[in-house]
């Protein structure tokens, strides 16, 4: 049902400028809610929008930054930190969200789902 | 076992707390208390005159008696003890059987037996009732005399002066506080107190009190002089309340006091005596700390009696006396007396430092061999008290040049001998609760790394609070030893506290995060430092929080100008200043709520909260609200929220000022002001305090003459009564003080620190705050006011601005690549409104089962 075995394909999401630097947006891609983040150096990341710690679709609304070496987003509900690269939760090893590949093509943001 | 305790004063209550904490089975406690209210803090009694209420002074934790199953009988005086039958008879004729009996009857104020001392408007200074009567008489009086220039007498003098009376202190001895301090210290204390407007008369023996010529009374002294006054307060020492013990044949001392042994037991094995009524080794202790120690010893002995099998395992604590060292602040003057302050030990040598210009007097009393500290007197500055006390108690060797201990720390003078690091673990640090340095260190090792945590773990600092700076020092030293960083660094990105960062932003004129990070930080930032930076920028420059370079710093509440709820939806609170709203606007809120199907609830701040809005609905809803004349309520921000008010003199029969009008002025002045944490304010129109202003960060209460300003109160998690910062202010001064107060808080508080915790951690406490805000001792008053003026002058409604800016408005959408709603947000109906569905309800829905309302 979650399609993890299906080959991922790239989906056009939005223009780069639709995401303000150091913020995230939520995109609906193939029935999923994906949080797409843009750092101030225009690096892009994508995670599930669903925060399992909060049982709510909110991760795109979290603050991004770094904790030590790791790039993270902090969920706005209970402030769990998720690794932008791997989706692992730094505060609770039992929790993780899915991370997606994301790329920039001709000023357009694309996510592989 | 049936235990009867006679007396519910400070010491008697401490006994109950000790017993309750020990959770002893089969112990049934009945307490007889002749006063109409349970235990309260007599040490802080004078604060009754600076705005504290009887409730503020209570020592009884809410629900204490119910929880611990102790029967408390107020207004019940014990009138006799029958030792043979083991019965106590009360004044109303009841008899109670006891297995064990504790006398905690305290003391009574000694009134010199001079003719006329029983005239009306002659008072003592012991109970809240005494103070209420004194206050009542103070309203009709112009002049007040306190007979007795000891510690309590000077407290009473402050109270008399606080009532606005011409104040005299009459003392029999040649100096003030004759028991605790020497001539030199007494002289300085006198000059300081006289500078405050109190006239001191020493070596005056009152022989008679008669009708006055210009006032109600006239005191006649043995030397033929006279003094006219409208009221008199006797504060000439205390006498133990030992009449019950005498009547039942228990041993009492020649000058009173129930004789006890090292376990606080009287010669009758079933009867104990503790506190000021007890006589140990020929001494009566009129301070609370030895009384608390007796309570501890007595509780342990009682507990051991209940659990006889454990008796052998642990030696019981015993009372070994206490020294009468004390430190206090009398009318703003620091006075401390340690050990043999008067130097009566044979061969004692004195080392003295006195500076009349700076009004400081310090004396060390040193043993004949010059090796140990026997005592000390400190007047004007008692900063070395804790260290000297420790040195005296431990008998540790004095440094080679002991004079350096009291000389001003300049010219490279070494005071390191005073450092807490050098103290042994047994060094007592909190004498109210008998906590030693070792206990504080142990608490730190167990994870307590804030003053609040230390307090709850050890009780240290929860009595008079005088040791809090010392405990802070010890805590920090121990944290360092444990390798814990004592820094207040905001996070890994900024090696500064919030306070320091605020300063850097303000002085450096920094207006964006990139510059701040480049100049003073490292890395990318995080969810801690970004909102702090955003808040500081807003407090300093008040630029639009959703501007492109600011928006990314905002926590989701500020990012969407609404309050995030558990299901990811938001709630909306339009400003309803002062809680005043027209019917038209009320209807409009109803219409909007109905149209967007929002759950509505009245808030504690006299506003209306609308729940269940999606991000994409927020601009639509706000467009309607703004068109109807509403503006942002900033309920989402760490900012000034509401100014609650009662209806005030406009309608209320009791109101003395227009509280709604004042609330509106204040709310419109400070609305949107961002701060380290949220700020709640209130204005009450009279002393009945219907707006509950004393539970707010800033509370204003109307008086006949103007406004009283209370600060640093809190409801919520840790209730704290606000404290009176200044009284009877005119409007202009009131506003000026609030300006200064709020800006000073914004300048110096930690991240997410409410004013109440900020105040609890403020070194120097309320006096310091008064110095800064009212007396402008730091000389920053004008600066704070100017900073506030800038914020007020640049106010705009954030929602209005957000709606006008297409770029910002575009951000308010649920999905960047299309419309639609979050299917995970599900509401069900309850009591005629929506609420978020529970996980079970959601699951049922996804399986196609109809969701039914839960029965209410």
CATH number at residue B449: 1.10.10.1100
Q: What gap in Å lies between CA B7 and CA B81, rounded to an integer?
A: 14
Contacts of A28 in chain B (CB under 8 A): 815, 817-818, 820
Residues B405 and B257 in one domain: no
CB pairs under 8 A between A and B: 94
Cα→Cα distances B28→A105, B20, B96, B268, Å: 80, 11, 12, 20
What pLDDT sits at residue B521?
93
What domains can be seen in chain A, in order of their start residue?
10-112 (2.102.10.10)
B648 conformational bin, left if phi > 0, alpha if psi -120 to 50, beta if neither: left
**In this structure, is residue B625 part of a structural domain?**
no
In a domain, B813, yes or no: no
Residues of chain A contacting residue B820, judged by C-beta atoms under 8 Å apart = 28
pLDDT, residue B44, reads 82
H/E/C letters for each residue in B291-318?
HHHHHHHHHHHHHHHHCHHHCCCCCCCC
3-state SS assignment for residue B695: helix
Chain B residues interacting with chain A (CB cutoff of 8 angstroms): 492-493, 514, 523-527, 529-531, 548, 551-553, 555-557, 559-560, 564, 566-568, 811, 814-818, 820, 822, 824-825, 839
Q: What integer pLDDT is reported at residue B329 of this predicted model?
A: 78
Burial string for B52-84 (b: 16+ CB within 10 Å, else e) reads: beeebbbbbeeebbeebebebbeebebbebeee
Mutate which: B547, B555, B816, B820, vs A, most A CBs within 10 A? B816
Same domain for B253 and B164: no
Give the gap in angstroms from C-alpha A21 to the nearest C-alpha of chain B.
7
- Which of B817, B824, B839 is the best mutation test for A, with the most CBs of A within 10 A? B817
Residue B64 belongs to a domain with what CATH number?
A: 3.50.50.60
Residue B604 lies in a domain: no
- Residues contacting residue A93 through CB under 8 Å, at least 6 positions apart: none
Helix, coil or strand: residue B26: coil
Token pair belonging to B451: 């003053």
Q: How far apart are CA A48 and CA B531, in angstroms?
A: 24
**Would residue B576 count as lying in a domain?**
no
Is the residue at B694 inside a domain? yes
Binding residues of B for siroheme: 690
Q: Which residue has the tokens 């104020």?
A: B109
Residue A100, CA distances (Å) to A4, A46, A49, B22, B207 in order: 11, 5, 11, 58, 95
Please indicate, yes or no, whether residues B668 and B754 belong to a single structural domain of this protein: yes
A90 lies within 8 A of chain B by CB = no
Assess whether B201 and B305 both reside in one domain: no
Q: Do A65 and B559 touch (CB under 8 A)?
A: no
The answer to whether the CB atoms of B816 and A26 lie below 8 A apart is yes
Nearest beta carbon to residue A56 from set B555, B566, B815? B566
* Residue among B492, B564, B817 whose CB faces A68 most closely: B492
Give the 3-state DSSP-derived string for B842-853, with helices as H, strands as E and coil as C: HHHHHCCCCCCC
On whether both B339 and B443 belong to a single domain, the answer is no
Positive or negative, the Cα torsion across B787, B789, B794, B797?
positive
Q: Which of B418, B442, B459 is the last residue of a domain?
A: B418
Burial label, B35 (beta-carbon count in 10 A; 0-12, 13-18, 19+): middle
Do residue B764 and residue B675 come from a single domain?
yes
Cβ–Cβ under 8 Å, residues B176 and B149:
yes
Distance CA B475, CA B527 (A): 28
The answer to whether residues B152 and B176 belong to one domain is yes
Same domain as B669, residue B767 = yes
Cβ-nearest to B818 among A28, A57, A77: A28
Number of residues that this document lists for chain B: 856
pTM attached to this predicted model: 0.58
pLDDT at B533: 97
- N-terminal to C-terminal alpha carbon distance within chain B: 47
> How many Å lie between the alpha carbon of B656 and the closest alpha carbon of chain A?
45
Please check whether residue B407 lies inside any domain of the structure: yes
* Domain end residue (candidates: B395, B418, B441): B418
Question: Among all residues of chain A, which has the CA nearest to that of B565?
Answer: A77
What is the H or E stretch that residue B188 is in?
A: helix B183-195
Could you say which residues of chain B have pLDDT below 50?
411-415, 849-856
**CA-nearest residue of chain B to A31?**
B823
Contact A25 B816 (CB under 8 A): yes
C-alpha B199: how far from chain center: 31
Q: Is the dihedral of CA B292, B293, B298, B301 positive or negative?
A: positive
Q: Is the Cβ–Cβ distance between B644 and B579 less than 8 Å?
A: yes
Do B461 and B451 share a domain, yes or no?
Answer: yes
Check whether residue B694 and residue B742 sit in a common domain. yes
Cα gap B88→B109, rounded to integer Å:
25
Query: Residues B787, B726: one domain?
Result: yes
Structural domain count of chain B: 7
The residue of chain B nearest to residue A80, with distances taken between CA atoms, is B527
On whether any CB of chain B is under 8 Å from the CB of A27, the answer is yes
Q: Is residue B633 part of a domain?
A: no
Give the chain B residue nearest A61 (alpha carbons): B556
Cβ-based contacts of B524 with chain A (< 8 Å): 22, 39-40, 64-66, 71
**Helix, strand, coil % over all residues of chain B, rounded to 5:** 35, 20, 45
Q: Is A55 on the interface with B (CB under 8 A)?
A: yes
Decide which of B183, B217, B236 is a domain's last residue: B236
User: Structural domain of residue B357, as residue ranges?
Assistant: 323-418
The total of other beta-carbon atoms located within 10 Å of residue B194's CB is: 12
Q: Do A14 and B817 count as a contact with CB atoms less than 8 A apart? A: yes
Chain A contact set for B840 (CB, 8 A): none
A89 touches chain B (CB under 8 A): no
Interface ipTM: 0.94
pLDDT at B225: 94
Q: Is residue B789 part of a domain?
A: yes
The CA-atom distances, in angstroms, between B339 and each of B35, B62, B324, B403 are 34, 37, 7, 18
Cβ–Cβ below 8 Å for A28 and B820 = yes
Which residue ranges of B are tagged as binding site? 646, 652, 686, 690
Output the pLDDT for position B852. Answer: 43
Q: How far apart are CA B337 and CA B340, in angstroms?
A: 8
* Sign for the pseudo-dihedral over CA of A62, A68, A70, A71: positive
pLDDT of residue B411: 41
In a shared domain, residues B378 and B448: no
């Amino acid at each position: 049902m979650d399609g993890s075995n299906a080959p991922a394909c790239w989906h056009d999401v939005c223009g780069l400028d639709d995401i303000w630097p150091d913020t995230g947006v939520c995109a609906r891609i193939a029935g999923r809610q994906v949080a797409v983040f843009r750092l101030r150096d225009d690096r892009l990341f994508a995670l599930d929008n669903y925060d399992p710690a909060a049982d709510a679709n909110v991760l795109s609304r979290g603050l991004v930054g770094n904790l030590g070496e790791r790039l993270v987003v902090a969920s706005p509900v209970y402030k769990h930190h998720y690794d932008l690269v791997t989706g692992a939760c730094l505060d609770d090893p039992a929790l993780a969200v899915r991370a997606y590949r994301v790329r920039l093509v001709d000023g357009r943001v694309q996510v592989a789902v | 076992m049936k235990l009867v305790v006679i007396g519910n004063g400070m010491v008697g209550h401490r006994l109950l707390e000790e017993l309750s904490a020990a959770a002893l089975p089969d112990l049934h406690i009945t307490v007889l208390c002749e006063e109409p209210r349970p235990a309260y803090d007599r040490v802080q009694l004078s604060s009754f005159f600076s705005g504290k209420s009887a409730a503020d002074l209570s020592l009884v934790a809410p629900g204490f008696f119910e929880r611990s199953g102790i029967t408390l009988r107020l207004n019940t005086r014990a009138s006799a003890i029958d030792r043979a039958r083991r019965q106590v008879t009360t004044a109303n004729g009841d008899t109670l059987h006891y297995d064990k009996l504790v006398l905690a009857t305290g003391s009574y104020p000694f009134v010199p037996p001079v003719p006329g001392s029983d005239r009306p408007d002659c008072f003592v200074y012991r109970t809240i009732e005494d103070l209420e009567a004194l206050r009542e008489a103070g309203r009709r009086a112009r002049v007040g005399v306190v007979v007795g220039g000891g510690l309590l007498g000077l407290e009473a003098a402050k109270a008399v002066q606080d009532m606005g009376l011409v104040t005299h202190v009459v003392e029999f001895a040649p100096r003030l506080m004759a028991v605790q301090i020497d001539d030199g210290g007494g002289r300085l204390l006198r000059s300081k107190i006289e500078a405050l407007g109190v006239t001191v008369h020493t070596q005056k023996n009152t022989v008679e009190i008669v009708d006055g010529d210009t006032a109600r009374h006239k005191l006649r002294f043995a030397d033929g002089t006279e003094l006219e006054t409208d009221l008199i307060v006797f504060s000439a020492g205390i006498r133990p309340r030992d009449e019950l013990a005498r009547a039942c044949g228990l041993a009492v001392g020649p000058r009173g006091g129930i004789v006890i042994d090292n376990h606080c037991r009287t010669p009758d094995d079933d009867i104990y005596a503790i506190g000021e009524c007890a006589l140990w080794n020929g001494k009566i202790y009129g301070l609370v700390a030895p009384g608390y120690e007796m309570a501890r010893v007595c509780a342990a002995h009682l507990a051991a009696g209940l659990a006889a099998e454990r008796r052998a395992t642990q030696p019981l604590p015993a009372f070994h006396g206490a020294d009468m060292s004390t430190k206090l602040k009398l009318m703003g003057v620091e006075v401390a007396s340690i050990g043999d302050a008067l130097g009566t030990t044979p061969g004692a040598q004195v080392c003295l430092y006195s500076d009349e210009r700076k009004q400081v007097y310090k004396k060390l009393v040193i043993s004949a061999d010059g090796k140990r500290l026997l005592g000390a007197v400190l007047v004007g500055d008692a900063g070395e008290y804790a260290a000297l006390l420790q040195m005296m108690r431990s008998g540790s060797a004095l440094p080679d040049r002991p004079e350096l201990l009291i000389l001003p720390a300049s010219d490279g003078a070494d005071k390191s001998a005073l450092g807490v690091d050098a103290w042994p673990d047994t060094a007592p640090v909190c004498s109210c609760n008998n906590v030693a340095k070792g206990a504080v260190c142990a608490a730190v090792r167990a994870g307590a790394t804030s003053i609040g945590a230390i307090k709850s773990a050890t009780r240290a600092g929860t009595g008079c609070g005088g040791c809090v700076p010392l405990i802070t020092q010890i805590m920090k030293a121990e944290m360092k030893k444990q390798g814990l960083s004592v820094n207040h660094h905001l996070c890994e990105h900024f090696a500064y506290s919030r306070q320091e960062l605020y300063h850097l932003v303000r002085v450096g004129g920094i207006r964006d995060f990139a510059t701040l990070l480049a100049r003073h930080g490292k890395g990318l930032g995080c969810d801690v430092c970004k909102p702090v930076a955003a808040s500081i920028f807003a407090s300093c420059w008040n630029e639009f929080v959703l501007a492109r370079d600011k928006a990314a710093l905002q926590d989701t509440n500020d990012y969407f100008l609404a309050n995030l709820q558990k299901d990811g939806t938001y709630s909306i609170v339009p400003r309803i200043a002062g809680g005043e709203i027209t019917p038209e606007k009320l209807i409009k809120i109803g219409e909007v709520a109905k149209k967007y199907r929002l759950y509505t609830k009245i808030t504690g701040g006299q506003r209306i909260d609308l729940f269940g809005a999606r991000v994409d609905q927020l601009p639509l809803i706000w467009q309607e609200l703004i068109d109807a004349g509403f503006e942002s309520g900033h309920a989402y921000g760490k900012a000034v929220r509401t100014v609650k008010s009662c209806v005030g003199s406009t309608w209320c029969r009791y109101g003395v000022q227009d509280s709604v009008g004042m609330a509106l002025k204040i709310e419109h002045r400070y609305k949107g002001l961002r701060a380290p944490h949220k700020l709640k304010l209130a204005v009450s129109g009279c002393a009945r305090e219907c707006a509950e202003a004393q539970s707010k960060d800033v509370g204003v209460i109307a008086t006949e003459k103007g406004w009283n300003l209370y600060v640093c109160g809190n409801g919520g998690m840790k209730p704290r009564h606000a404290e009176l910062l200044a009284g009877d202010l005119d409007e202009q001064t009131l506003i000026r003080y609030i300006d200064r107060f709020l800006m000073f808080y914004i300048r110096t508080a930690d991240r997410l620190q409410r004013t109440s915790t900020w105040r609890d951690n403020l070194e120097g406490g309320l006096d310091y705050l008064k110095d800064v805000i009212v007396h402008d001792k730091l000389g920053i008053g004008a600066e704070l006011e100017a900073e506030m003026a800038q914020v007020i002058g640049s106010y705009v409604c954030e929602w209005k601005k957000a709606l006008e800016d297409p770029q910002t408005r575009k951000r308010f959408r649920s999905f960047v690549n299309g419309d639609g709603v979050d299917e995970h947000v599900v509401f069900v109906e309850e009591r005629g409104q929506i609420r978020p569905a529970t996980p079970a309800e959601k699951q049922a829905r996804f399986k196609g089962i109809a969701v039914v309302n839960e029965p209410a």
